[in-house]
Amino acid sequence: MSVRSDLISQITTNLSGQSNISIISELPFVQGGSPLYSTNMNTVYVDEQEIEKETLYVTLDSGNVEQSTTTINAYLATDAKEQFNNIDTVIANLLLAGDVISSTVEVSKSYETEITDDVITYTFEYTFTTI
């Protein structure tokens, strides 16, 4: 399984008690000039994983020890006028989902909010480092 599918599985598990939020496995593409997550509010979209590799060491047998950094963004848009009572719990559960990815030496998670008109967009960034 890929890191993206593992993350989607864990987000689904973490948000299973939230009847007002769903998660979808399709990518958050742009349709009609708007990102899909902004038109389908209260739905979590997980973007493609971006993988960056860096050679840490070259071994005596001409092999390489590489560090791989996988970055994945997730998006959730909500109506600013009708904010959830438990949005802090939803955010915490989305951040906690990154902790279950195995074989990592470092995990970094953060989120930003952006308000446009009456839509609050939460952008989550997960970074997983493996060697």
Q: 22-75, pLDDT tens digit by residue?
A: 898 888 787 777 788 888 889 999 999 899 988 777 777 777 778 889 999 999
CATH number at residue 40: 3.30.70
Look at residues 36, 40, 52, 48 and name the one whose alpha carbon lies nearest to residue 8.
48
Long-range pairs for 29-33: beta carbons < 8 A, 24 or more residues apart: none
Q: How confident is the model at residue 17 (pLDDT cuts 50, 70, 90)?
A: confident
**How many independent structural domains does the chain possess?**
1
Which pLDDT score is estimated for 85? Answer: 83
Which pLDDT score is estimated for 33? Answer: 78
The domain of 14 spans 3-130
Mean pLDDT of 11-31: 85
Which pLDDT score is estimated for 56? Answer: 74
Alpha-helix residue ranges (DSSP H) falling in 1-131: 3-14, 36-39, 87-96
Which pLDDT score is estimated for 72? Answer: 94
For the segment 81-130, what is each residue's pLDDT rounded down to a tens digit? 887 788 899 999 999 999 888 888 889 999 999 998 889 999 999 999 88
Q: How confident is the model at residue 1 (pLDDT cuts 50, 70, 90)?
A: low
User: Which residues have a Cβ under 8 Å from the Cβ of 17 and sit 6 or more positions away?
Assistant: none
Which pLDDT score is estimated for 2? Answer: 87
